[in-house]
């Protein structure tokens, strides 16, 4: 299903809900006329009987699968090609729901699973690798997460049951399909997928990471995390598709082997690890109406020169519409510099344009980043499902609570009409006077001395007062004008 289509795949679920509410099959099966209604048993009030009927309805309605990644298993390193090293990650999928999930290998009614690699280093949490999706087949009936009720055959993942795929199985290239053919909201995908049966070199379709990003000698103090995410049609139709990602810490040895380095954290995406390790990280979950889930992390660090570094990570869990813009409000005193961006590259023939997002600074208003709109390029470098992008800058003012604006990439639909969504973040304070150079809370002659010292030292962070990229006499004139302007 393309981004432009209006069917979000949830129509069957809506029909079921409508039937329950307006007298469809669920309600009709319990509809009783007043004339034929039996008298309640003595000592058993009519209200209690009605309550039992309602409870039966609720229990019937609640029978649905709920898939999670129960365990992330050891990895296989397949080799290095050029600047990238290829891996595959084993996993165990658990059905913690109350009904089986189909695993029909010959149709698109089966789960798919993918993985990503993340690095936390120097206060930045970045995605540095991703793999294609593996198509699951022939479910096992083990009990990794709960007590399994085994179904007949292997075309169902039974209630309470789990099934595992080793890293060698996951690394089988003929079974790996493109992410671009998956709707993560409905877990629908093209089948047979376009590269079915195709193989290639050691990194083709597998999780790829730049070797420099995982070299222990080049990444002193870095911490790494693997995330595995599973999607399945019936699980998604039941609305249970926001707990499908789990993560696990890993490390790399001198030969670039990936080694597990702690237990699996179930039903938490990798970005949650940043907040666990650093309580200063703020996480914000945004459910796009009629679409999927985004998680935004924000953190501010005070630098040695009194400025602040602002770091943002936007992870698309399962939004099909994706994200094409990110904007942070700033005040006039922020004096933003060092604007940066980081993404994770798609590979192996995925159609997406790899161009970096374009930054835009509107002093006193916002700093923002955008990729090409859908109308200009449906394959633009949007934040697609299962990926995380970073945005950063430095500012002169300390953090306060605020909201970032995220622009949605895919066209709106009747089910998902929003063009933008907002996420709670930390952002630069906009209450400070621009001429308060030393941030004392008041403008004084000392600010003049401090500005002149920065001007003489060619300190652009302070002396480039008009943010034109150069330090000139105009910056001095602009500072003086601001110094004599009343400030609240």
Q: Is the pLDDT of residue 27 over 80?
A: no
Distance CA 264, CA 177 (A): 25
Sign of CA dihedral 124, 385, 97, 289: positive
Model confidence at 62, pLDDT cuts 50, 70, 90, reads low
Answer yes or no: are the C-beta atoms of 323 and 316 closer than 8 Å: yes
Model confidence at 50, pLDDT cuts 50, 70, 90, reads low
Higher confidence at residue 82 or residue 461?
A: 82
**Judgement on whether residues 272 and 170 belong to the same structural domain of the protein:** yes
Answer yes or no: are the C-beta atoms of 390 and 342 closer than 8 Å: yes
Mean pLDDT of 68-95: 98
The 8-class DSSP code of residue 97 comes to S
Model confidence at 169, pLDDT cuts 50, 70, 90, reads very high
Q: Is the pLDDT of residue 25 over 60?
A: no
pLDDT at 372: 98
The answer to the question of residue 330 being in a domain is yes
Q: Is the pLDDT of residue 416 over 60?
A: yes
The answer to the question of residue 343 being in a domain is yes
Higher confidence at residue 467 or residue 318?
A: 318
Domain termination site, one of 21, 38, 61: 61
Q: Which residues fall within 8 angstroms of residue 381, CB to CB, at 6 or more apart?
A: 343, 352, 353, 354, 355, 356, 357, 371, 372
Q: Which residues are paired to 88 by β-bridges?
A: 76
Q: Is the pLDDT of residue 263 over 70?
A: yes
Mean pLDDT of 136-143: 96
Q: Is the pLDDT of residue 421 over 60?
A: yes
**Judgement on whether residues 451 and 426 belong to the same structural domain of the protein:** no
Q: Which residues fall within 8 angstroms of residue 452, CB to CB, at 6 or more apart?
A: none
pTM of the model: 0.82
Q: How many CB atoms lie within 10 A of CB 31?
A: 7
Number of structural domains the chain divides into: 4
The answer to the question of residue 190 being in a domain is yes
Looking up residue 367, the CATH number of its domain turns out to be 2.60.40.1170
Model confidence at 431, pLDDT cuts 50, 70, 90, reads confident
Phi, psi of 131 (to 5 degrees): -120, 170
Sign of CA dihedral 375, 379, 381, 383: positive
Mean pLDDT of 326-333: 93
The answer to the question of residue 438 being in a domain is no
The answer to the question of residue 244 being in a domain is yes
Range(s) of the domain holding residue 456: 445-483
The answer to the question of residue 107 being in a domain is yes
**Judgement on whether residues 94 and 49 belong to the same structural domain of the protein:** no
Q: Of 147-161, 271-285, 455-469, where does mean pLDDT reach its minimum?
A: 455-469
Q: Is the pLDDT of residue 28 over 60?
A: no
**Judgement on whether residues 188 and 305 belong to the same structural domain of the protein:** no
| Greatest distance between any 2 Cα atoms in the chain | 96
Higher confidence at residue 383 or residue 63?
A: 383
pLDDT at 51: 57
Mean pLDDT of 162-184: 98
**Judgement on whether residues 214 and 296 belong to the same structural domain of the protein:** no
Answer yes or no: are the C-beta atoms of 403 and 453 closer than 8 Å: no
Q: Is 447 helix (H, G, I), strand (E, B) or coil?
A: helix
Q: Is 132 helix (H, G, I), strand (E, B) or coil?
A: coil
The pLDDT tens digits of the residues spanning 227-255 come to 999 999 999 999 999 999 999 999 999 99
- Angle 336-220-208 (CA atoms, 0-180°, nearest 5)? 85
**Judgement on whether residues 188 and 285 belong to the same structural domain of the protein:** no
**Judgement on whether residues 198 and 251 belong to the same structural domain of the protein:** yes
**Judgement on whether residues 139 and 225 belong to the same structural domain of the protein:** yes
**Judgement on whether residues 271 and 284 belong to the same structural domain of the protein:** no
Residue-level length of the chain = 488
Mean pLDDT of 431-459: 85
**Judgement on whether residues 260 and 296 belong to the same structural domain of the protein:** no
Q: Is 459 helix (H, G, I), strand (E, B) or coil?
A: coil
Q: Is the pLDDT of residue 24 over 50?
A: no
Q: Of 34-43, 44-53, 462-471, where does mean pLDDT reach its minimum?
A: 34-43
Q: Is the pLDDT of residue 391 over 70?
A: yes
Q: Is the pLDDT of residue 488 over 80?
A: no
**Judgement on whether residues 208 and 72 belong to the same structural domain of the protein:** yes
Q: Is the pLDDT of residue 396 over 80?
A: yes
**Judgement on whether residues 253 and 137 belong to the same structural domain of the protein:** yes
The answer to the question of residue 457 being in a domain is yes
The answer to the question of residue 4 being in a domain is no
Higher confidence at residue 458 or residue 144?
A: 144
Domain termination site, one of 61, 86, 103: 61
Domain termination site, one of 411, 432, 453: 432
């Amino acid at each position: 299903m393309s981004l432009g289509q209006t069917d979000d795949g949830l129509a069957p679920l809506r029909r079921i809900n409508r039937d329950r509410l307006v007298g469809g099959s669920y309600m009709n099966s319990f509809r009783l006329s007043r004339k034929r209604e039996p008298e309640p048993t003595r000592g058993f009030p009519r209200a209690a009987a009605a309550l039992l009927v309602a409870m039966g309805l609720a229990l019937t309605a609640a029978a649905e699968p709920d898939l999670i990644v129960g365990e992330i298993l050891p990895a296989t390193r397949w080799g290095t090609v050029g600047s990238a090293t290829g891996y595959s990650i084993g996993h165990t999928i658990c059905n913690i729901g109350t009904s089986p999930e189909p695993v029909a290998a010959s149709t698109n009614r089966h789960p798919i699973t993918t993985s990503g690699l993340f690095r936390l280093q120097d206060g930045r949490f970045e995605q540095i690798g991703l793999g294609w999706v593996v198509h699951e087949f022939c479910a096992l009936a083990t009990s990794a997460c709960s007590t399994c009720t085994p179904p007949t055959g292997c075309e169902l993942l039974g209630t309470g049951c789990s099934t595992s795929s080793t890293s060698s199985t996951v690394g089988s290239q003929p079974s790996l399909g493109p992410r671009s053919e998956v709707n993560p909201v409905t877990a629908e995908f093209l089948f047979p997928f376009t590269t079915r049966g195709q193989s290639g070199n050691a990194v083709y379709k597998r999780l790829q990471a730049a070797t420099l990003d995982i070299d222990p000698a080049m990444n002193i103090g870095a911490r790494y995390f693997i995330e595995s995410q599973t999607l399945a049609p019936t699980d998604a139709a039941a609305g249970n598709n926001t707990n499908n990602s789990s993560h696990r810490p890993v490390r790399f040895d001198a030969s670039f082997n990936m080694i597990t380095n702690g237990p699996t954290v179930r039903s938490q995406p990798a970005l949650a690890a940043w907040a666990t390790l650093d309580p200063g990280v703020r996480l914000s979950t945004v459910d796009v109406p009629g679409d999927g889930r985004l998680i935004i992390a924000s953190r501010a660090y005070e630098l040695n020169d009194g400025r602040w570094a602002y770091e943002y990570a936007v992870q698309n869990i399962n939004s099909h519409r994706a994200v094409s813009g990110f904007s942070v409000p700033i005040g006039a005193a922020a004096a933003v510099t060092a604007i940066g961006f980081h993404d994770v590259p798609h590979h192996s023939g995925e159609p997406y344009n790899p161009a970096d997002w374009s930054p835009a600074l509107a002093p006193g208003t916002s700093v923002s980043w955008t990729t090409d709109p859908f109308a200009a390029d449906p394959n633009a470098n949007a934040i697609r499902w299962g990926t995380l992008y970073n945005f950063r800058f430095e500012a002169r003012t300390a953090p306060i609570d605020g909201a970032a604006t995220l622009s949605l990439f895919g066209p709106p639909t009747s089910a998902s009409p929003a063009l933008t969504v907002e996420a709670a973040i930390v952002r630069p304070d906009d209450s400070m006077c621009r001429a308060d150079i030393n941030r004392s809370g008041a403008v004084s002659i000392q600010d003049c001395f401090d500005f002149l010292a920065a001007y003489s030292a060619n300190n652009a962070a302070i002396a480039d007062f008009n943010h034109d990229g150069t330090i000139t006499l105009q910056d001095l004139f602009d500072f003086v004008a601001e110094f004599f302007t009343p400030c609240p």
